[in-house]
Each structure stands twice: as structure tokens, then as C-alpha cells.
Amino acid sequence: MISGIHYCGQKSHDSTNRCVICGSKSIGINFGVLTCAPCKGIALYFYLFFYIIFVFFCFKIKAFFRRNARRKELLELPCRHRDMSVEMMNNHAMNERTMRYLQIRRCSSCRLRRCFDLGMKEELVRTDEENERYRQ
């Protein structure tokens, strides 16, 4: 059985419960594909507490895909972290799944491209007006 790095340090041997974007443990189907909390955009309070306090102090944390689905210019950017393949070559203990996890989490362009490649649908992201109607 193969295990990799997972969200909050958890390991899972069941490949059917993996996020299709980064390979970590999934929480459910979001925008049409199986995702973990960070790829959907839910920050787990205890895991990200200090990161939220210092980086996002006054901002709401929204879903990565929801924030970026309509930013087509992000898809055209080259990967900013091509050095991951070099790191993988130098570290034989790092398997392909671990490398993908680290690269997807580090590079927004790669992460968004992978979201679309795996079937996330931009049309399932509600606009602000649709959210208001949905709340009423």
C-alpha cells in the first residue's frame, strides 16, 4: 500500500478518498471533483491558526478555486517552482505523489491548471448576486 503526505499529517491507504488535485485526504465533492479542504478552500482552525492570524488577519478565507476560476491570466503563467523536479532528483526518498503534493501546494498556476484538468467547472462557482439570492 502506498501512502503519501496528507493534510494535517494524516495518512490514508484508501486511494478512493484522495483529493484529485494534490493527493491528500479528501473531504467531499466540490465544484464537481473530489477535493481536500485546502483545495476547496476551507481552513481548518487548529492547523492554520497562526497562518490565518498573521497572513490573512482581516480577510475572509475563500475557496482557492472560487477565487481563481475566472482568472484566466493565472493559467498562462509558467510554473514558478520548476525546481521541484530537481529537488526530487536529489532526494530519492521523495516519491512522485509527495512531489506533486508539494508542487501543487506551492504554485497557484499549477494548482488552478490541475483543477481545470481534473474537471472542476467554472460555471458551478456562484457570483455574488447568486449568493445573495441563495441566502434569501
Structural domains of the chain sorted by starting position, each given as residue range(s) with its CATH number in brackets: 7-122 (3.30.50.10)
pTM of the model: 0.49
28 membership: H or E segment, kind and range: strand 28-30
Burial of 69 (0-12, 13-18, 19+ CB in 10 A): buried
User: What would the pLDDT profile of 43-85 be if each residue is shown by its tens digit?
Assistant: 333 334 444 444 443 233 346 778 888 888 888 888 776 655 5
Measured between alpha carbons, how far is 61 from 57 in angstroms, rounded to an integer?
A: 10
